[in-house]
Amino acid sequence: MSNELVPMKQPTYYEEVERKGYSRRDFLQFVSMMTAFIGLENSAMGQVAKALETQPRLPVIWLHFQECTCCSESFIRSSHPIVADILLDKISLDYTETLMAASGFQAEKCMKDTMEKYKGKYILCVEGSVPMGADGVYCMIGGKTSLQILEEAAENAQAIIAWGSCASNGCVQSAKPNPTKATPIHKLVKGKPVIKVPGCPPIGEVMAGVIVHLLTFGRIPELDKLGRPKAFYSKRVHDTCYRRPFYDAGLYVESFDDENARKGYCLYKVGCKGPSTYNACGVMKWNNGTSFPIQSGHPCIGCSEENYWDNGRLYERGSSFAGFGIEANADTVGKVALGVTAAALAGHAVMTNVRKKKLILGLEEEGKQSEHELKS
């Protein structure tokens, strides 16, 4: 993503920031916040600032498929106003169904223009899963199926960002039995880097952080083996949770209205999925760092994890497989199996004494004989 390849008439981020009436101080505040969010040290602030001062705006096509737009909502509520104002509203978006002013043929032309003008340069952001069932009729825009639009837009994209759990792992649409065959992006696009930013929605600052990283370094952030940026998804919510000491102490909320809930004990026993969820909620929190679900007294539902809808119930520590029967969790099945086993063994013991009577009596007689023959 070098400068000279993008036409220079595009204003830089900083120019846009100035034009919008933000002060240098506002800009630097934004830079320092973003630097911290994307996991860089203080000294890298200059690099981030320089990138935003010199880089022309990054052309972005933002597609919406089967989704609820909560990712966009989260993004525009990102804590610093510059995020919404500059990264999204003013600078980057060349096409996004939800926020663009254009509609109809005009809008479609806008997308085509961006794809041609910035061939191989634009970033493709995808919000939502692609329905593959019934030839894709469940989600069509402008007469084209989601898959057609995605393939067309992905072909010349520099990188693809899969926003949210829908695009990253299918989310609720792909929950069993997945009637529309909702499919995440990485299964449909080959040969392009796909950055997964799961969450329902992902944290606004995380989304901004991914974009700023792309801008500053001109390459995708370091990803883990599931394709998520390491800076935000390498820690479990459990390990960064401020209620963790209660977990270790063995102090748990037993039900939502008990004394323990008032005391703010750990929500493990009311189904908190923090121990199996990788996200930055405990660190960054939501809505300008105000709170996050656990802080508000609600267990984590693990929304950024694959199949979180099917992996057991939301308010229980999961131990049941989807489709194994509603009530069948491991312990119920285990106890039944144990009972059956015990009954079978008792039956076997009885049968042993009946069927092998001769054999057992023989051993007994033999032993008794020796006992008699012994003198003392």
Partner 1 sequence: MKTKFLHVHRLRRVYVWELPVRYYHWLNALAIIVLIVTGFFIANPLAIQSHQEAANQFTMGWVRVAHFIASYIFFFNFLFRIYWGFVGNKYANWNQFIPTSKKFFREMWHVFKIDILMMRGKEHISIGHNAMAGFIYFFTFLAFLVQCLTGFGLYASMSTWWLPKLFAWVPILFGGDSMIRIIHHWSMWFFILFAVIHVYLVFYHDYVEGRGEISSMGGGWKFIEEEVFQNEEHHTPNEPKNKA
Q: In sequence order, which residues have a C-beta less than 8 Å from that of residue 145 and are 6 or more positions away? A: 135, 136, 137, 139
Q: What is the number of alpha carbons within 13 Å of residue 226 lying toward its C-beta?
A: 17
Closer residue to partner 1, CB minimum distance, 8 or 374? 374
Query: Residue 5 carries which side chain, given as an amino acid letter?
Result: L
Site pattern 338..367 for partner 1 (x: CB under 8 A): x--xx--x--xx-xx--xx--xx-xx-xxx
Closer residue to partner 1, CB minimum distance, 7 or 367? 367
Torsion angle in degrees (nearest 10) through CA of 277, 69, 74, 227: 40
Q: In sequence order, which residues have a C-beta less than 8 Å from that of residue 153 and are 6 or more positions away? A: 61, 63, 111, 115, 124
List the one residue out of 71, 66, 57, 282 whose CA is nearest residue 196.
71
Q: Quick check: 313 binds partner 1 (CB under 8 A)?
A: no
Q: Which two tokens stand for residue 176?
A: 């069993």
Q: Name the minimum Å distance from CB 196 to partner 1.
A: 11
Q: Quick check: 373 binds partner 1 (CB under 8 A)?
A: yes
Site pattern 42..81 for partner 1 (x: CB under 8 A): ----------------------------------------
Cα–Cα distance measured from residue 293 to residue 286, given in angstroms and rounded to the nearest whole number: 9
Q: Quick check: 134 binds partner 1 (CB under 8 A)?
A: no
Q: Name the minimum Å distance from CB 146 to partner 1.
A: 22
Task: Count Cβ atoms within 10 A of the Cβ of residue 199 and give its class: 0-12 exposed, 13-18 middle, 19 or more buried.
Answer: buried
Stretch that binds partner 1, among 12-20, 53-61, 102-110, 244-252 (CB under 8 A): 244-252
Backbone dihedral angles phi then psi of residue 249, each to the nearest 5 degrees: -75, -15
Of 226, 261, 283, 314, the one binding partner 1 (CB under 8 A) is 226
User: Which residues are near partner 1 by CB under 8 A?
Assistant: 169, 225-226, 234, 236, 239, 245-252, 254, 268-269, 273, 275-278, 302, 305-308, 311-312, 317-321, 330-331, 333-334, 337-338, 341-342, 345, 348-349, 351-352, 355-356, 359-360, 362-363, 365-367, 369-370, 373
